[in-house]
Amino acid sequence: MKNKFVDYLNSLNNVSACNENAYAESNYSNEYYKYVEVKRGIGKHIIKILENEEPCIIILTGHAGDGKTSLLFQVMHELGCIEDNNLKMTDEVTLPSGKQCYYVKDFSEISEKLDKMKDMLSYVENGKFVFLVANTGPLINSFVDVMPEENRDEAHRLIIDLIDANKGKIENILGYKICSINVATVDNTGFVREFINKITNDKLWEDCNMCEKKDNCFIYNNVELIRKNKNQVSDFLSNHYLWQQEHDKKLTIRQIAAHLSFMISGARSCDNIKLNDDKYKYLFSNLLFGYEGYSLSIAASRLKAIEEIKNNKYDIKKTFVDEKLFINNDFKDLTEDIREYFKYEGKKNGYNLDWQKSIKRAYLLMNIETDKEKKELLQKNIFSKWFTRYKELIKGESVIANDEKLIIDALWMLFVGNLSNDKEIPITMKREKGVMQNVQITIATLSKKSIRLKTCDEISLKVDMIDENYKGIYIYIHGKKVDTHISLPLFNYFEDIRKGIISTNIDPKLSRGLDAIKAQILKYALEDIDREDYEISIYSDEEIEFIIDKIDNILTIN
């Protein structure tokens, strides 16, 4: 008995986006699409604009595979504007409100872009909506080129700012009402939970019940295991994809769908299953990391998402459960189904590192730990000490003293190079690199009391649900905002320097952020100096400090 849904899943991880069911393209016309479609908050937001606002151009951009076409489909389908589940390259449809909407499925494939851009601008002037799915490059160039020569530089700047700001609101750009949404920068981790729910839905696996190979089928077994450990699997994967996002390695919807479908089937079809197969042969926790048992899967190596998860080396990170699992061989915290399997594997192949890694992967996805503190500790072990707290902060929890303590300690390390209990952080004229300076002069001081960490509303769209945007985390000095957002890598870097782990070789990407933070803090600290009365502090490596009270003809030291 063959379950056609397995073939559909395999078409999602069949690497090339040109295959028949690459998640978007012709995918929505596939019979299974309605079962796996994840409706996105941004689609609902666009529908609201089409229903309630004055005609404008809605621009939808994003990376290839981010789900732009699916969003267009979602919107048009929900508004009842398409027939036969088919989107045309361009079409003019009538919205439920009676207004006209002209959509373009892919602006890059339009041959006469300038003419089309002119047309679209005129449509809006004539009271029609335009819904434009576009690659950013051709879009920017065409928009700029249809503007009068003298406005082109400004048009270039404005359209870039609009797309980059990604506010999702209608704005006036040189007289044209445009709403730009860039899905490339929007958190798509919410997709994971729903997609896992959908692809493991009983209905899609009903055919397997009649299959004689069912009890020996690793695909069916994987689906069963994922269903049983759904929360754990979804939590781990959402965290992982968020980690990727925060480290500038965001995966697209297409890459995530390929990853998750590969996790189940390992790119194998029902025909590959034998009657006497071991159902644990390709355990989903191994497939997710690109392994078939202990060996690396060749098919998996073509998937970007698997390359990324392997790079993170989660399965060799030290955790608090290592001793319990690997020394005591105590598997009570693993889901029951796989305990015996790992015992057997250890006996058969040896209790080696490959075995440990395989257990670790299984533990991350199928542990039954319920203690909240232990769950958090595992997240800290795997992702980083500040990962959980960072998530809480961006989701709106209030800053507490411990968060601010991290910032204060980090600023001590950044400006001085060691920690102290003093109330004031001295800011010096330290050289950036290469030269020994054993004596420093303090050009300003920063009182610990003046340093605050705050969360504030982000203007640009960060999450799929428009109404529940993430917060941005910022340092404030004397009530003035330091403009660089404190990202997760910065939190982790601050923790490292506080522990004295990193002294040189900082990731240049972080150093840009740090330079900007230091410069702005110095500015605020200098502004706070009382010009009439300021002392000069000079101190050396040997902890000798001189405080000059006054300099005129006589230099007075306090």
Can you give the binding site for another protein, defined by CB under 8 A? Answer: 61-64, 66, 135-137, 140, 156-157, 160-161, 163-164, 182-185, 248, 429-433, 435-444, 483-484, 508-513, 515-516, 518-520, 522-523, 526, 534, 536, 538, 540, 544, 546, 548-549, 551-558
Rank residues 368 and 557 by Cβ distance to another protein and give the closer one: 557
Rank residues 143 and 262 by Cβ distance to another protein and give the closer one: 143
| Shortest separation between residue 512's beta carbon and another protein, angstroms | 3
Q: What is the 3-state secondary structure (H, E, C) of 110-138?
A: CCCHHHHHHHHHHHHHCCCEEEEECCHHH
Using the structure block, give the residue that is written with the tokens 């781990």.
Answer: 236
327 DSSP 8-state letter: I
| Shortest separation between residue 67's beta carbon and another protein, angstroms | 12
User: Residue 457, by phi and psi: left (phi above 0), alpha (psi -120 to 50) or beta?
Assistant: beta
Rank residues 5 and 524 by Cβ distance to another protein and give the closer one: 524
| Shortest separation between residue 146's beta carbon and another protein, angstroms | 17
| Shortest separation between residue 11's beta carbon and another protein, angstroms | 23
Q: Helix (H, G, I), strand (E, B), or coil: what is residue 453?
A: strand
What distance in Å separates the CA atoms of residue 186 and residue 71, rounded to the nearest whole number?
13
| Shortest separation between residue 359's beta carbon and another protein, angstroms | 35
Between the alpha carbon of residue 293 and those of residues 154, 251, 280, 354, 362, the distances in Å are: 57, 25, 9, 9, 11
What distance in Å separates the CA atoms of residue 408 and residue 400, rounded to the nearest whole number?
13
Helix (H) or strand (E) holding 182: strand 176-182
Rank residues 88 and 249 by Cβ distance to another protein and give the closer one: 249
What distance in Å separates the CA atoms of residue 275 and residue 375, rounded to the nearest whole number?
39
| Shortest separation between residue 432's beta carbon and another protein, angstroms | 5
Rank residues 148 and 508 by Cβ distance to another protein and give the closer one: 508
Q: What is the CA angle 326-328-331, rounded to 5? A: 75
Contacts of 146-152 spanning 24+ positions with Cβ under 8 A: 146/114, 146/117, 146/118, 146/121, 147/174
Position 472, amino acid: G
Rank residues 164 and 215 by Cβ distance to another protein and give the closer one: 164
| Shortest separation between residue 387's beta carbon and another protein, angstroms | 22
Rank residues 185 and 469 by Cβ distance to another protein and give the closer one: 185
Rank residues 289 and 539 by Cβ distance to another protein and give the closer one: 539
| Shortest separation between residue 407's beta carbon and another protein, angstroms | 18
| Shortest separation between residue 507's beta carbon and another protein, angstroms | 8
Residue from 170, 106, 94 nearest 136 by CA:
106
Rank residues 234 and 428 by Cβ distance to another protein and give the closer one: 428
Between the alpha carbon of residue 407 and those of residues 300, 428, 475, 491, 527, the distances in Å are: 41, 18, 8, 8, 21
What distance in Å separates the CA atoms of residue 510 and residue 518, rounded to the nearest whole number?
12
Q: What is the 3-state secondary structure (H, E, C) of 348-388?
A: HHCCCHHHHHHHHHHHHHHECCCCHHHHHHHHHHHCCCCHH
| Shortest separation between residue 61's beta carbon and another protein, angstroms | 5
Residue from 23, 498, 36 nearest 252 by CA:
23
φ and ψ at residue 472, rounded to 5 degrees:
-100, 150
Rank residues 39 and 156 by Cβ distance to another protein and give the closer one: 156
